[in-house]
Structure 1
């Protein structure tokens, strides 16, 4: 008496038969292995550059698009060559947000797609000014936001740095 293969075994056999009829290197879906070891679909990963020279030098991007997700790096109030930093935490936060909005646009996202921001401050007393700037851009959207007081940022003149995450179409 012959045993019938289990349903799982039959599925593997069908998959193997189909694979034999595909051209070399052709796959019905792109797959990768996740941390769990399970197969997952591969997603598009696109880098967004602001053109700053230190992006290549230090190996980072202004933003990264992965599928529908957009991750905007910590954004400081960097000004074009020779232009002084904005005065005060409010002006610096507005500049950070301008850069973030441009990166989102380059990534194909809108401000309405932002789901999370992180605000890094040198001094907690500046949070009201930074919060006002943040509210002018995201007040209606109301993303999940975290404020963190840090001991310093890369440039001693910077008072604030902001990160953002978006889901396109959220």
Structure 2
């Protein structure tokens, strides 16, 4: 099955050899987003809720570039440097999704690109 890359200037450009997202059939795999401002390419450094909002806005933009929305997301993966940020990131996620909620995992990691504190990836289904 051929892969179709998806990209948008409304989310940060990939900072490595990968696509913002790839469509394979009716499934779109969104690469992890950290709180990079798509206009400047700079890491947003604020409270964890503000950083998480930037991440979800980036994911939303990639979903839209795929002709979908966050409502089409089937699975979310959240990666946190500090699990004490879980409740705040969870509250931000609740602002972006509605029932039925996507499946999700939350994983503590020792480091993320550019020193970010949160990264989120997702899988959405369009067909």
TM superposition score category, shorter chain reference: 0.7 to 0.9
Q: Does 1:62 align with 2:20?
A: yes
Provide the residue aligned with 2:44 in structure 1.
85
Provide the residue aligned with 1:166 in structure 2.
124
In structure 1, which of residues 93, 101, 110 is the aligned counterpart of residue 69 of structure 2?
110
Runs of 5+ unmatched residues, structure 1: 1-41
Q: Distance in 1 between matches of 2:17 and 2:65?
A: 19
C-alpha contact 1:113 1:168 (8 A) present in aligned 2:
yes
CA displacement at 1:82 relative to structure 2: 7.5
Please list the CA deviations of residues 89-111 of structure 1 after superposition, one character each: whole Å capped at 9, or x if unmatched: 11111101101011011011122
Q: Alignment RMSD, CA only? A: 1.9
The count of aligned residue pairs is 124
Q: Does 1:120 align with 2:79?
A: yes
CA displacement at 1:140 relative to structure 2: 2.3
Runs of 5+ unmatched residues, structure 2: none
The runs of 4+ residues in structure 1 deviating greater than 4 Å are none
C-alpha contact 1:90 1:133 (8 A) present in aligned 2:
yes
Query: What TM-score does the superposition give when structure 2 sets the normalisation length?
Result: 0.87
From the CA coordinates, give the structure whose radius of gyration is larger. Answer: 1
C-alpha contact 1:110 1:168 (8 A) present in aligned 2:
no
Provide the residue aligned with 1:48 in structure 2.
6
Q: Does 1:74 align with 2:39?
A: no
CA displacement at 1:76 relative to structure 2: 0.3
Query: What TM-score does the superposition give when structure 1 sets the normalisation length?
Result: 0.67
Indicate the larger mover: 131-140 or 64-73: 131-140
Q: Distance in 2 between matches of 1:63 and 1:86?
A: 24
Point out which structure has higher relative CO (alpha carbons under 8 A, 6+ apart): 2
Between Structure 1 and Structure 2, the one with more helix by share is: 1
